C-alpha cells in the first residue's frame, strides 16, 4: 500500500499530497464559480482560519481546499514533500 504524503498548508492544517490535481489562484471567474459550487455541494474544505483565500487546491475526489498561502508557496511545499519522500525500493 502506498504511503500517504502530507503537506503543511498553514495553521497546523495538512493535506494529502498524493490527492492533489491542481493548485490555482482564486481570482478568475471559473475558479470563483468552482468555489461557490464546492461550498453549495459540501465539497469545500476551508483551511484559511478566517484569512483571505490565496490558493485553491483541487483534489482527485472532487473536493476543493481553500488555502491562505499563495499557489507558488504550496507548489514549493508540495515539490519539497515529493522530493524528500523515499522512492520505490528504498527504506523510509
In a domain, 89, yes or no: no
Write the pLDDT tens digit of every residue in 3-24: 889 999 999 999 999 999 999 9
What's the pLDDT score for residue 4? 87
Percent of the chain with pLDDT over 70: 88
In a domain, 27, yes or no: yes
In a domain, 61, yes or no: yes
Per the CB < 8 A criterion, the answer to whether 57 and 15 are in contact is yes
pLDDT at 30 over 70: yes
In a domain, 32, yes or no: yes
In a domain, 68, yes or no: yes
What's the pLDDT score for residue 21? 96
Provide the residue range defining the domain that includes 58: 6-84
Question: For the chain, what is the domain count?
Answer: 1
In a domain, 70, yes or no: yes
Nearest CA among 89, 84, 81, 58 for reference residue 71: 58
In a domain, 66, yes or no: yes
Beta bridge partners of 14: 8
Q: State the Cα torsion 2-14-85-71 to the nearest 10°.
A: 120
Percent of the chain with pLDDT over 90: 80
Please tell me which residue, 20 or 89, carries the higher pLDDT value: 20
Residue listed under C-alpha cell 471559473: 30
In a domain, 30, yes or no: yes
Amino acid at each position: 500500500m502506498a504511503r500517504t504524503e502530507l503537506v503543511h498548508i498553514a495553521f497546523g492544517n495538512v493535506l494529502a499530497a498524493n490527492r492533489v490535481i491542481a493548485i490555482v489562484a482564486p481570482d478568475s471567474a471559473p475558479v470563483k464559480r468552482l468555489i461557490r459550487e464546492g461550498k453549495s455541494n459540501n465539497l469545500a474544505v476551508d483551511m484559511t482560519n478566517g484569512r483571505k483565500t490565496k490558493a485553491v487546491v483541487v483534489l482527485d475526489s472532487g473536493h476543493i481546499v481553500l488555502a491562505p498561502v499563495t499557489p507558488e508557496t504550496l507548489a514549493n511545499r508540495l515539490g519539497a514533500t515529493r522530493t524528500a519522500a523515499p522512492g520505490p525500493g528504498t527504506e523510509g
